[in-house]
Amino acid sequence: MNVDIVLINPYFQEPLYPTYIGPPLGLLYLASCLEKKGYGVRIIDALPLLKTNKSLVKELKKINPEIIGITNSSLQSRSALSLARQIKESSDTKIIVGGSHVTSRPEFCRYDCFDYGISGEGEISLPDLVDKIRQNKKSKKMIIGKKVENLDSIPFPAWHLIKMDDYHKDRKRSFNVIGSRGCPYRCIFCSVRGPVRFRSPINVLKELKILIEKYRVESIGFVDNTFTLNKKWVDSLCESIIKEKLDFRWACITRCDHLNRNIVKKMSRAGCDQIGLGIETRPSLRTYLKKDLEERSVKSAISACKKEGIRSIGTFILGLPGETFESIQKTIKYSLKLGLDDVGYHLLILLPGTEIFNTAIRDGIADKDLWKNYEMGIGEVPFFIPDSLNINIISKLRKNGYKEFYFKLNYFVRKLGEIKSLKNIRDVKLFTESFKKFI
DSSP codes, 79-127:
HHHHHHHHHHTT---EEEEESHHHHH-GGGGGSTT-SEEEES--TTHHH
| 319-349 core/surface letters (b: 16 or more CB in 10 A; e: else) | bbbebeeebbeebbebbeebebbebbbbbbb
Q: Please report whether residue 162 resides in a domain.
A: no
In this structure, the answer to whether residues 124 and 181 fall within a common structural domain is: no
Q: Is 20 exposed, middle or buried (0-12, 13-18, 19+ CB in 10 A)?
A: exposed
182 and 115 within one domain? no
Residue 282 belongs to some domain of the structure: yes
- The C-alpha atoms of residue 283 and residue 285 are separated, in whole angstroms, by 6
Q: Domain residues for 262? A: 172-348+383-407
Per DSSP, what are the bridge partners of residue 316?
280, 345
Q: Is 189 found in the same domain as 297?
A: yes
Same domain, 89 and 25: yes
Indicate whether 65 belongs to any domain. yes
Q: What is the pLDDT of residue 1?
A: 66
* Beta carbons within 10 angstroms of residue 437's beta carbon: 10
Q: What is the DSSP letter of 9?
A: E
User: Do 59 and 182 sit in the same domain of this protein?
Assistant: no
Res 146: pLDDT: 95
Q: Do residues 268 and 125 share a domain? A: no
Answer yes or no: are the C-beta atoms of 236 and 190 closer than 8 Å: no
Low-confidence ranges of the chain (pLDDT < 70): 1, 15-20, 169-171, 409-439
DSSP β-ladder status, 5-9 and 342-347: unpaired
Same domain for 390 and 324? yes
User: Residue 14: what pLDDT?
Assistant: 73
Number of structural domains the chain divides into:
2
Asked whether residue 255 falls in the same domain as residue 133, the answer is no
CATH number at residue 179: 3.20.20.70
pLDDT of the residue at 430:
47
Task: Give pLDDT, residue 438.
Answer: 47
Let me know whether 205 and 102 are in one domain: no
Quick check: is 424 in a domain? no
Q: Which helix (H) or strand (E) holds 374?
A: helix 370-375
Answer yes or no: do 52 and 113 share one domain. Answer: yes
Tell whether 127 and 224 lie within a shared domain.
Answer: no
Which percentage of the chain shows pLDDT scores above 70? Answer: 90
Give the closest residue to 356 by CA, choosing from 334, 383, 380.
383
Q: 106 and 229 share a domain?
A: no
